[in-house]
Chain A
Amino acid sequence: MPRYKLVNGERIQLTAEEEAARDAEEQAWADGAAARALADLRAKRNRLLAETDYLALSDNTLSDDMKTYRQELRDFPDGKDTVEKCKNATWPTKP
Chain B
Amino acid sequence: MSIVKLNNRSVKDVTAFGSITSLGSLTHIATQTASSSASISFTSGIDSTYKEYIFYFVNIHPQTDSSSAETALVFQVDTGTNTNYNQTITSTYFRSQHDESASSPALGYRTSGDQAQGTGFQNLAEGQGADNDQSLSGTLHLFDPSNTTFVKHFLSNVTYSHHGDYTMNAYVGGYVNTTTALTRVQFKMTNGNIDSGQILLFGLN
Contacts and interface: CB of A to CB of B under 8 A. Distances in A.
Interface string A12-40: 00100010001001100110010011011
A8 B186 CA distance: 10
Contact of B69 (A7, A33, A43): A33
Contacts of A39: 111-112
B41 A9 contact: no
Contact of B37 (A5, A40, A83): A5
A19 B168 CA distance: 31
Contacts of B109: 43
A42 B37 CA distance: 35
B37 A11 contact: yes
Q: Tell me whether chain A's interface is mostly helix, strand or loop, or mixed.
A: helix
B110 interface: yes
Contacts of B37: 4-6, 11
B38 A8 contact: no
Contacts of A29: 69, 190-191
A44 interface: yes
A18 B85 CA distance: 13
A4 B68 contact: no
Contacts of B69: 29-30, 33, 83
Contacts of B44: 8
Contact of B39 (A6, A37, A42): A6
List the 9 closest pairs (A to B, CB-CB), nearest first. Answer: A36-B112, A3-B38, A6-B37, A33-B69, A29-B190, A6-B40, A30-B69, A7-B41, A5-B39
27 contacts: A3-B36, A3-B38, A3-B193, A4-B35, A4-B37, A5-B41, A6-B32, A6-B34, A6-B37, A6-B40, A8-B41, A8-B43, A8-B44, A9-B31, A11-B35, A26-B190, A26-B191, A26-B192, A30-B68, A30-B191, A37-B112, A39-B112, A40-B112, A43-B109, A43-B111, A83-B68, A83-B69
Given A4-B35, A9-B32, 17 more contacts: A5-B38, A5-B39, A5-B41, A6-B33, A6-B34, A6-B37, A6-B39, A6-B40, A7-B41, A8-B32, A9-B30, A9-B31, A14-B38, A29-B191, A30-B191, A33-B69, A83-B69
